[in-house]
């Protein structure tokens, strides 16, 4: 089974429409502010896609583009203004930020009540404790992919490759929670893991978020595995118009022969990340929003 992220993403967005209508009747239009620093091409593409998705649902989205050499204090001033703007219900700092900035200090400066990306330390702490909070967008999107595809996680062995704060660590926690789409036994692999193939071949559900093009081949997986490929990697392809093509962490042609279900790249996890950003912004507007 091909796990179609575009199709499932549309279902998630459609489920938000009645909630958005109710908010608008109460004088609240959910609004997101994106802080984009520098000229990272991938970040600019992501921000445009996010803005388009918000506009399509009739939500407000503003982008604050700052120069590459902006100073920490100026970014903190902007965050403070957005924290105090009642028309803004979610704030997103597009990562990565330039090296001279303190990324964690910027993330911590966002009001947790406006944490649209679900990665503020307060939100992450609540997630670990099982307390309601906005969830990190990509891990939450993975759960939705499994849910809409009727893939059970209870009692399954889930193996995650990659230990980032944005994907690996949160999905490790979420899959282990006492929730309908948790209750899995979870193993986390990373760059220091020994005998990684022996571990990944035990996986009922394999989630790769390592950022290495087509690293996961058929010899990494067992028959019937469910594969969620979070990686989006550019590889040179001179024969194409763009000169490159996008591939995941998983060698799709090989692994799909053994998998019972698998996400494509592109069109798998990516669309879900944006949908969960919409989801979080609506959730925050419902919980903390005030009429304009």
| Cα separation, 237 vs 277, whole angstroms | 31
User: How is residue 254 written in tokens?
Assistant: 């090989």
Annotation: CATH topology of 137-270: Rossmann fold (3.40.50)
Q: Residue 277: which of 3, 16, 6 has the closest Cα? A: 16
Same fold for the pair 29-115 and 137-270: yes
The predicted structure's pLDDT at residue 233: 87
* Residue 66 backbone phi and psi in degrees, to 5: -115, 150
| Cα separation, 13 vs 160, whole angstroms | 27
The predicted structure's pLDDT at residue 239: 86
User: Taking the model in full, what pTM does it have?
Assistant: 0.94
The predicted structure's pLDDT at residue 292: 66
Which residue positions in the chain have pLDDT lower than 70? 292
Q: Residue 38: which of 85, 95, 81, 98 has the closest Cα? A: 98
The predicted structure's pLDDT at residue 242: 82
The predicted structure's pLDDT at residue 180: 87
Annotation: CATH topology of 29-115: Rossmann fold (3.40.50)
CB within 8 Å of 72: residues ≥ 6 apart: 101, 102, 105, 106
Q: Residue 83: which of 59, 57, 67, 106 has the closest Cα? A: 106
| Cα separation, 280 vs 275, whole angstroms | 9
> Which active-site residues does the annotation give?
50, 94, 117
* Residue 98 backbone phi and psi in degrees, to 5: -55, 150
Task: Please measure the distance between the N-terminal and C-terminal CA atoms of the chain and give it in whole angstroms.
Answer: 45
The predicted structure's pLDDT at residue 41: 83
Residue ranges per domain, the chain?
29-115, 137-270
């Amino acid at each position: 089974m091909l796990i179609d992220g575009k199709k499932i993403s549309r279902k998630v967005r459609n489920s938000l429409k009645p909630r958005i209508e109710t908010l608008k009747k109460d004088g609240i239009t959910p609004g997101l502010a994106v802080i984009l620093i520098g000229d990272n091409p991938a970040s600019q593409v992501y921000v445009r896609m996010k803005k388009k998705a918000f506009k399509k649902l009739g939500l407000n989205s503003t982008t604050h583009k700052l120069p590459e050499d902006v100073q920490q204090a100026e970014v903190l001033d902007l965050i403070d203004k957005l924290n105090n703007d009642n028309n803004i219900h979610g704030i997103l700092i597009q990562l990565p930020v330039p090296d001279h900035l303190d990324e964690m200090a910027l993330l911590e400066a966002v009001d947790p009540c406006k944490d649209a990306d679900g990665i503020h330390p307060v939100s992450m702490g609540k997630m670990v404790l099982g307390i309601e909070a906005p969830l990190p967008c990509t891990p939450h999107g993975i759960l939705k992919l499994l849910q809409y595809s009727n893939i059970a996680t209870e009692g399954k062995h889930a193996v995650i490759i990659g230990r980032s704060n944005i994907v690996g660590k949160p999905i490790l926690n979420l899959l282990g929670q006492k929730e309908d789409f948790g209750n899995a036994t979870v193993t986390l692999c990373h760059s220091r893991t020994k005998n990684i193939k022996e571990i990944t071949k035990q996986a009922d559900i394999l989630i790769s978020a390592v950022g290495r093009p087509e690293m996961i081949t058929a010899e990494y997986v067992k028959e019937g595995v469910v594969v969620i490929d979070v990686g989006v990697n550019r590889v040179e392809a001179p024969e194409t118009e763009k000169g490159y093509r996008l591939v995941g962490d998983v060698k799709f042609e090989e692994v799909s022969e053994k998998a019972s279900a698998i996400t494509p790249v592109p069109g798998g996890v990516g669309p879900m990340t944006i949908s969960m950003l919409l989801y979080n912004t609506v959730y925050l507007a419902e919980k903390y929003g005030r009429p304009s």
